[in-house]
Amino acid sequence: MNCQELEALLSPYLDGELDAAQRRSVDEHLKDCAGCRRQLEDYQILSAALEAPGMRLAASDTLKQRIKNQLREADARSNRPQWPRWAAAAAVAVLVVGMGWTFLPHPGAPGAEDEDDVMVDAAVDQQEHAVTAAHLTDLASGDAAEVQAWFKGKLAYTPPVPDLKAQGYELVGGRLDEVHGQPAAALTYKHDADYVTVFVCSAQKPGDKDLDTDTDDDYHVVYWTKGSMSFWMISKLDPAALKTLAAGLQQAS
């Protein structure tokens, strides 16, 4: 199944109208195609908004930013004959206007922290997709050196892969992923029944070394920047334990 074939199935996929074989084919394609996963998210946003009991809602800064990003991506693809993607983007735009949302920031509104919110949201989305698809690793290995060597040449940087056995976290492996349109290395560790994934991306704000925290969809996130890389640690672990682990990893990486 290619991307164009999948687009025709996204609406019936969301509505539960596909048979078992078709649904399996869609699920398999979504595992490996970040672009189609983002397109599915567009449909989900639109569907959720249409089903909301009150149609005039104050949109969060994160949602505003995500919609702007999707419209920019649709505009960049304007020369490609993919009408369903344009239709989804246009429908979102119409809905936004109809609900009275505004994209223009108020004077003095925060800027840099909005980008952090978008990255947190995108990283959590990618982790949820990975968990749902049971695709936490491309390379399953508990050998930190082997995992680091596997990433060499696949990204513009080679992520550090620390051995955290002494802290009680077993390396499961790594995978190539994408966070908010950026290529990313995803390192996954296991602690008892909980998983911890660290996304490593190119740093957008190299000077920002603070250890920041957030929560999104029951996931706790700790993120920081070191050198030319940014780190986004995600888990359902206790937030205090996760921040302690992140502080150790920040020093080790």
Q: H-type helices in the chain, by residue range?
A: 3-14, 20-32, 34-51, 61-76, 83-98, 112-132, 144-151, 239-252
Domain CATH for 235: 3.30.200.100
Q: What is the pLDDT of residues 3-23, one digit of tens each?
A: 888 888 888 887 778 888 788
Indicate if 94 and 173 belong to the same structural domain.
no
Q: What dihedral angle (degrees, nearest 10) is formed by the CA atoms of 130, 132, 134, 135?
A: -20
Domain span including residue 221:
135-252
DSSP string across 154-178: TSSS-------GGGT-EEEEEEEEE
The pLDDT > 90 percentage for the chain reads 42
Mean pLDDT for 182-203 is 94
Show which of 72, 98, 124 is a domain's final residue: 98
Mean pLDDT for 80-87 is 50
Indicate if 142 and 238 belong to the same structural domain.
yes
Instruction: Please give the span between the terminal C-alpha atoms of the chain, in angstroms, as a whole number.
Output: 40
pTM of the predicted protein model: 0.56
Q: What is the pLDDT of residues 30-53, one digit of tens each?
A: 888 888 888 888 877 877 766 665
Average pLDDT, the chain: 81
Indicate if 151 and 241 belong to the same structural domain.
yes
Indicate if 238 and 145 belong to the same structural domain.
yes
Query: Which one is predicted more confidently, 17 or 64?
Result: 17
Q: Is 220 helix (H, G, I), strand (E, B) or coil?
A: strand
Cβ(230)–Cβ(221) below 8 Å: no
Dmax (CA) for the chain in angstroms is 55
Indicate if 88 and 166 belong to the same structural domain.
no
Q: How many domains does the chain have?
A: 2
Query: Which one is predicted more confidently, 31 or 145?
Result: 145
Q: Is 94 helix (H, G, I), strand (E, B) or coil?
A: helix
